Structures are given as C-alpha cells and as structure tokens.
Structure 1
Amino acid sequence: MKLVRLGEPGRERPAVIDDQGVTRDLSALTRDIDGAFLASDGVLRTRRALAEGTLPELNSEGLRFGPPVARPGAVICVGQNYAAHAAESGSAPPARPVIFFKPPNTVVGPYDEVEIPRGSVRTDWEVELAVVIGRTARYLDSPAQALEHVAGYTVSNDVSERDFQLEHSGGQWSKGKSCATFNPLGPFLVPTDEVPDVQGLRLRSFVNGEPRQDSGTADMIFSVAQLVYDLSQYLVLDPGDVVNTGTPEGVALSGRFPYLRPGDVMEIEIEGLGRQRQTLGAA
C-alpha cells in the first residue's frame, strides 16, 4: 500500500492506494497523515481497515498530490553520504555523518513548481531517499533498533542553490538549502515493511529528459539504520520528521552539467517509491 495526501495546498485529504491500485479515503481514520497519525499505529490501522474493506473508494482524478506527510516538525539532511558525490564536490568522504537542516516550509508536493530564487545562478537538483520517522527516537542503543522507529520511505529532491550554500553562508549550508519550494516530497509514503531492502534501491534523476544521476542506496557511506541511530545520539527524532539521506554523484556542482533555468524540467525517481516531476519557474 502507499499513503498519499491529495488536494490543494493546505487542504489535502489523507488517502491510501491499495495493492490493486485503488485509491481509498482515509478520512474516517485520521484528519491527516502526520506525526500524530504515524505515532498512533496509523500504518497498522490503515492496513487493518483495508483488510476489513471499510475504506471507501476515492475518485482521485485531477487531484493534486501533496507531500505524503503533513507539516514535518523537522527536515534533517545528511550531506556527502555518497563517496562519489563527496569527490565531485571536492571533499573527502566524511568520517561521521554531516547534517544540516531545511525549514519545514520548503516541503512541497512532488509535481509542484520549484522556484529559482532571486539572484540565483547555480540552482541544482539532488535525488534523495527520504526517511519518515514513525516513533520517537532518542539515544537508541544500536543501529539494529533504528528501523523500528521508521514509518516509511519516500522520494525527496533536495534542491540547492550553490552560491548561497558555499559563498554566502560562512561555512554553513542553510542559506543554499532553505529557499521556498526547495524540497519536493513524494508522491507516496511506502511503509518500512514493504521495502524489503532499503539499501538496495536505485535512484535516478533527469533534467529536460536527459539523465543526470544513476546510483543506488547500496553506495551510501552511512546506511539508513546507522543514520537514524547516529542522529538519535544528538537530537530527538519525532514522528513525522523527515530525514534526507544524501545524494549520489551527477549534480550540476560537478561541473559536468549546466545549472537549472526557468522552464527546465526535473524528474527524479527511486525504485519502488515513485517518480517526481517539477518545472522550474522564477521566484
């Protein structure tokens, strides 16, 4: 099954796409797919309701896909988590996870327009696996515990403005990561137990139909379990929080491709989790 949120921004309704591809309304179970829903066994309750046949069919034709999780309290990002991407950025692979934050208001739907910010000359794409937290994670004892605290996975585009990130930020990356619309998320939230091997997923990105990135989560320096464990030693991960786990090589920062311009089209996908598509506009 796939959890989705459908409708106009701020008015999305919760839904689930069952194993037959039928979209069903989740409004009887929850007002939204958010941290409270995930923390209250929302995935299990949804699966039970599907088995019992109590969820009505929802006509989703023409409805916008919103981000599959509402109002994340935090968007935590991992930098340089693929060795080849670190190399194309001019850095050695990190010995410990490097993190930065994006404001939750950067999160938009998977097909929404992405705005190139004022003054930008180096707006870039980044396909990433996003982890959605389902249970509070604090001081976990080992990585073996980590995936028990994950509700599911989705597709994330960690859009970046490289001048803002590297030249304007005084050593911090947040200025280049925090612009409006800079984190398209979705289309689906796929439960953890329906992703048999999270370290065996293919990630790809395209600009105007031309291939850019093509890699796999097997190439992560720090696995999903290691990242969740490590983060829990320094901060509290709450239900509904999003963790972007890093991007592979093939971004414009490498010097091999031009940066994004208004009218360009980004498409990114992760095996089993879906495909996004965004057109670039000017802020």
Structure 2
Amino acid sequence: MTMKYTLGLGLSLLILTLSGCQSLQPSLSNRNIPLAKPIDISYKDELLVSRLTDILYQAELTKEQKAQVYYERGVRYDALGLRTLAKLDFGKALSLYPQLVEAYNFMGMYYTLEESFIRAYDAFDAVIDLNKEHEFAYLNRGVALYYDGRASLAVDDFKTFWSHQPTDPYRAIWLYLGEHKKDPQKALNHLRTNYQEVAKEQWGHYIILALMGDISEQALLESASVNAKDNTEYAMRLCEAYFYLAKKYQFEGKGFQAEHFFKMTIAMNVHEFVEYKYAKLELKRMNRALAQ
C-alpha cells in the first residue's frame, strides 16, 4: 500500500490455521487466496538505528535535538516491529521535549494496543492541544474509542478525520467501521454515499466495493496485484485487504474466517501499518473472548 505470487510465510500460516479446524476446512481450502512474499526487515532501517545511536552517544546535542533523534530512532524501531524499544524511545523524546507532537501520537497508538485507553486518550488529546489540525490524531483517538466500546465518540472523531479528505478511501472505511457498531444498515448506506467522493484511482476504493458487497473477496484480492510496482507494494495492499475482509467477516459473525484473515494481515510484516497493528489487537481480543 509483486506481481508474483510467492508461497512463503503466508502459506505456512494458512496451513497451521487450517490444521486446527478440520471441520471448517472446506470454507477456506477451496479458495485461491493470493499471497505475496512477506516484507523483509529493512537493512536500511537497521543501519539507520545504528547511526542514530552513534549520534546520541557521540554528538553534542541540545535537549530538543536529542529528543528528535530519539523520536527518529523510535520510528525506525517501529518499522522493524520492535515496539517495546520504540515506545521507550518515544518516552525519552517526550521527557526531553514535551512539545514533540508525533511522539505523543505513537504513544497513543501503543497505549491503544495495550488497551490502556485512558492513557491513549491523554496522549491523543496532547497531540490535538498542540496541533488541532493533526488529522491522524483524530483517526487514532477514534480507533481507541472504537476498541473501548465508545462508538458514538469514535464516530465523531472518524467524521473529523474523513472531513479533511473525503476522497481518501481509508477515511470512508474507518467512518463505516465506527458507524457499523451503531447501525449496520445505516452505516452501509452512508458508505455508499461517501464512496461517490472517493478517488477511484486509489487502489483502496476496491476495499470499499468489497465491504459494500459489490465485488467478491476474490476480486478484491486479485486487484491488489494490478499495477503494483513491486512485491512491497503488493504485500502492503494485501495487508490492508486482509484486515478489512477480516472485519467484514467479523460483522457477519464468521469468527473463523475473520481470525484467518487477521493472521494473514500480520503475515505480511507491514509493521508500520495500522492494519498490521490492530490485527494483533483483534486477535488478542478474540483469543480472550474464547478463553472466557
């Protein structure tokens, strides 16, 4: 968010998933589910972490400069999937320079993933207090409210996020996810209305078509390879497609299919995508519900 279907980690994950649910196996085994090669760890990010660490310990920096370096290293840790190290760096950055808006935004997402919602709200509120035009703070606070079961407030934030750029398909999608908790049919009707403004040249519009039932799951997944410039872009698109298909199946009460696609989302290794991050939270909550 290439063109070649690679049977790698995704296939192994598919086999493991199906082996534990033999009675449900036909519901997935007969499908031709496209797979991309999972994104590899970036050696450039690893080198940048090393360079930033050298700067922290060797350069003469002001507090603000040091905070910025910690923030930049935290971003690289996040891209590498090293969430604990990233969170530590964002915390250090904020202790040195409390006006660092983007660090609050990351901290808020991490608190959401930990289901520490009060802390998440505090972090996102800090972002908005410092910069009322920070669009993604509204998205991320909306996501926290969504998972905290506060649908009406979540929809308010998703509407604000959507209103800044109605042509963005993902903004329309998150607004739909929030509204679905309140009234599924009304949410679908509103999504159809909002779809009229979505930029059709953006690949994400196919996700909306799938959520509306206008194209099949297979058509959505196959569209991910069209005009993808390389495997990385292909894997990013599949990461997104898998996540929103999982949400669709979740809405339909099809827990096994939802779980499968959340796992496929994670298998693409797109650590910095919200879809990757929240697929992990979805699976944690599903497993907790099963254990109760």
TM bucket (normalised to shorter chain) is under 0.3
Q: Which has the higher strand share?
A: 1
Point out the structure with max Rg over C-alpha.
Answer: 2
**TM-score where L is the length of structure 2:** 0.23
Q: Which has the higher contact order (CA 8 A, sep 6+)?
A: 1
Q: Which has the higher helix share?
A: 2
